[in-house]
A and B are shown apart, each in its own frame.
Chain A
Amino acid sequence: MSLPEELRGPRQGPPRSAAGRLGGWLERHAQTLVSSVGRLARAPFATVLTLGVIALGLALPACLHLVVVNARAVTAGLEKTVQVSVYLRPGLPAEQAQRAERGIAARNDVIETTLITPEEGLKQLEARAGFGDALKALKENPLPYAITVRPAPQFDTPAAVETLTAELRALPEVDLVQVDTEWVRRLEAILEALRRIVVVAAGLLALGVVAIVGNTIRLDINSRREEIEVTKLVGGSNAFVRRPFLYSGVWYGLGGGLLAWVLVVTVIGLLGPAVETVAVLYSSDFRLAGLDRHAAATLVGGGTLLGWIGSWVTASYHLQRIEPRA
């Protein structure tokens, strides 16, 4: 019995073409891809647990992000420029009120003034939800003349507005001065701070995801130590041994990202009706915004990337240290 053609070596036959090599490369990757899925599917409990932890790590910053997005949407319609309301003393005659307005309008730190008569004020008040009936009960108009003052853009700073209000308050005709829109600015600042918190939290949780994937891969490597040793023994390179672990990491990241997306959609679905009820009460047509296509892609893609990074770092570190023992 002589050796069959297939085992007559060493190395014969024409060298493989570039296309053939590429085909082989794709085939090998496809095989690893499928077998790595199979491996995860064979330990469903552990896999689901890991995916859940990764999904939470990804969903948390995504939800915080939506808090900021929605808060921005709520405040987007609000006047952003500072406006000062000056209430004149009650019972002040019309011509004195007009003189006071002209005086304020002449200041160089004021760009625009509007005089609101007591009648106009009452009408505005009536237009607002809930006040109509209460006002009808009044025998006479209790409102004073009021002047809304818009500071010039260069006098828009808190310090300049402070000076302006102090000087307005000192005028003899003036009863009360209010800076109406300061809270909008405060809210803006809070939102900006929140946005930064989201970025920092996302960064920390991303590190967490890398660590989770890394640790899972490390356990996987430990349990497959013998297989790794044997593979290296018959000539498997570090890259070859690492490949299935990289795929596992990518699957963890991708699965976790998709699960995180489902979680976020669920949360929005649960909170949406409640928020809408509130919005209706405020006669607003505001609706809770979910993840747009870009954000969803970032969530899933980012998860996949983090899974890959986690497995790459761990596998590269640990696999190099596993050498076949004699």
Chain B
Amino acid sequence: MIAFERVFKRYPNGREALSEVSFELGQGEMAFLTGHSGAGKSTVLKLIALLERPSRGQVRVNGLNTAAVTGRKIPAFRRLVGVVFQDHKLLADRPVFDNVALPLAIAGVPRREMDKRVRAALDQVGLLGKETSFPLELSAGEQQRVGIARAVVSKPPVLIADEPTGNLDPELAREVMNLFRRFNEVGVTVLIATHDVHLIGQFGVRRLHIEKGQLVTGMPDVAA
């Protein structure tokens, strides 16, 4: 689960990204995080992934106050949060298999199980058979899906994604959203930042809308 409690974030350059943001996403809940670019969507995700720290207020993930997660505790924390990055953050000099297997290698999963799980994850994003390709040989959409496979392969209880369908055509975008949905159905807490209004209209999930660093309440949740 994810909980923000009166979170205020000001960047060192003085820009106020979030002010007084509070929300709670229960265990196994799924939500879209919407808003214009620059509204603070990415900041919310960065605070969850420990890439940024709140200036004030509390962020809790998986029952842990992130303020208490420092130094050596950070890696274990991050392993429980699958992140799909907008810029993929893939290793260009490693084949797709190695990229997807990275979280499993970190967790010390044995080779055989690693094999099975990487293949299952790639199958889910429609990239089975691309194991030996290198990221730069793939299209932007395919790279994005490799990033998604990497985020889900370690079965984290929390999954966050920053514009995961940005580079995908509508057909694939829907497929990817369905994938997140399937993870949500087996109990994973999912938060997806997106501005694809078209797409979210097709999913009946909660919507958190941010404008100028503040959560706007009363936005209609998208009907199924």
A29 CB to nearest chain B CB (Å) = 11
Interface size on B, residues (CB 8 A): 48
Among A6-14, A69-77, A246-254, A257-265, the stretch that binds chain B is A6-14
Question: Is A3 a contact partner of B108 (Cβ separation < 8 A)?
Answer: no
List the B residue with the shortest CB-CB distance to A230: B89
Among B33-41, B138-146, B163-171, B183-191, the stretch that binds chain A is B183-191
CB of A326 closer than 8 Å to a CB of B: yes
Secondary structure dominating the interface of B: helix
Question: Is B108 a contact partner of A235 (Cβ separation < 8 A)?
Answer: no
B33 CB to nearest chain A CB (Å) = 16
Question: Is A231 a contact partner of B152 (Cβ separation < 8 A)?
Answer: no
- What are the interface flags for A1-40 relative to B under an 8 Å C-beta threshold, 1 for contact and 0 otherwise? 1111111111100000000110111011001000000000
Q: Residues of A contacting B42 with CB < 8 Å?
A: 326
| CA–CA, A229 and B106, complex, Å | 14
- What are the interface flags for B82-126 relative to A under an 8 Å C-beta threshold, 1 for contact and 0 otherwise? 010100011101000000001101111111000011011101100
Question: Is B51 a contact partner of A326 (Cβ separation < 8 A)?
Answer: yes
Partner among B75, B80, B153 whose Cβ is within 8 Å of the Cβ of A7: B153
Q: Residues of B contacting A21 with CB < 8 Å?
A: 108
**Interface centre among A31, A227, A325, by most B CB within 10 Å?**
A227
- What are the interface flags for A52-95 relative to B under an 8 Å C-beta threshold, 1 for contact and 0 otherwise? 00000000000000000000000000000000000000000000
Q: Residues of A contacting B154 with CB < 8 Å?
A: 9, 235
Q: Chain A interface residue count: which class?
A: 35 or more
Given contacts A7-B124, A233-B83, A234-B103, contact A326 B46 (CB under 8 A): yes
| CA–CA, A236 and B89, complex, Å | 14
Question: Is A24 a contact partner of B120 (Cβ separation < 8 A)?
Answer: no
Question: Is B91 a contact partner of A226 (Cβ separation < 8 A)?
Answer: yes
A10 CB to nearest chain B CB (Å) = 4
Question: Is A235 a contact partner of B157 (Cβ separation < 8 A)?
Answer: no
CB of A237 closer than 8 Å to a CB of B: yes
| CA–CA, A226 and B153, complex, Å | 21
Q: Residues of B contacting A229 with CB < 8 Å?
A: 89
CB of B67 closer than 8 Å to a CB of A: no
| CA–CA, A5 and B185, complex, Å | 13
Question: Is B183 a contact partner of A3 (Cβ separation < 8 A)?
Answer: yes
B52 CB to nearest chain A CB (Å) = 6
Question: Is B156 a contact partner of A10 (Cβ separation < 8 A)?
Answer: yes
A247 CB to nearest chain B CB (Å) = 15
Question: Is A7 a contact partner of B117 (Cβ separation < 8 A)?
Answer: yes
Question: Is B155 a contact partner of A231 (Cβ separation < 8 A)?
Answer: no
| CA–CA, A235 and B155, complex, Å | 13
| CA–CA, A232 and B117, complex, Å | 21
Question: Is A240 a contact partner of B106 (Cβ separation < 8 A)?
Answer: yes
Secondary structure dominating the interface of A: helix
| CA–CA, A9 and B93, complex, Å | 29
Q: Residues of A contacting B78 with CB < 8 Å?
A: 232-235
B11 CB to nearest chain A CB (Å) = 10
Partner among A9, A24, A235 whose Cβ is within 8 Å of the Cβ of B188: A9
Question: Is B124 a contact partner of A3 (Cβ separation < 8 A)?
Answer: yes
A88 CB to nearest chain B CB (Å) = 86
| CA–CA, A10 and B93, complex, Å | 30
Question: Is B51 a contact partner of A6 (Cβ separation < 8 A)?
Answer: no
| CA–CA, A21 and B182, complex, Å | 31
Q: Residues of B contacting A233 with CB < 8 Å?
A: 49, 51, 78, 83, 85, 89
Question: Is A3 a contact partner of B106 (Cβ separation < 8 A)?
Answer: no
Given contacts A3-B124, A235-B76, contact A9 B157 (CB under 8 A): yes
CB of B15 closer than 8 Å to a CB of A: no
| CA–CA, A3 and B185, complex, Å | 9
Q: Residues of B contacting A2 with CB < 8 Å?
A: 182, 185
B3 CB to nearest chain A CB (Å) = 18
- What are the interface flags for A283-326 relative to B under an 8 Å C-beta threshold, 1 for contact and 0 otherwise? 00000000000000000000000000000000000000000111
B140 CB to nearest chain A CB (Å) = 18
Q: Which residues of chain A from 250 to 284 have a CB within 8 Å of any chain B CB?
A: none
- What are the interface flags for B70-83 relative to A under an 8 Å C-beta threshold, 1 for contact and 0 otherwise? 00100111111001
Which of A's residues lie within 8 Å of B, judged by CB?
1-11, 20-21, 23-25, 27-28, 31, 226-227, 229-238, 240, 324-326
What are 11 residue pairs bridging A and B, where the CB atoms are less than 8 Å apart in the complex? A7-B117, A7-B121, A9-B155, A11-B155, A28-B105, A226-B91, A230-B89, A235-B107, A236-B102, A238-B72, A325-B51
- A sample of 5 more A-B contacts (CB under 8 A), given A8-B186, A235-B77, is A7-B152, A24-B108, A230-B90, A234-B102, A235-B107
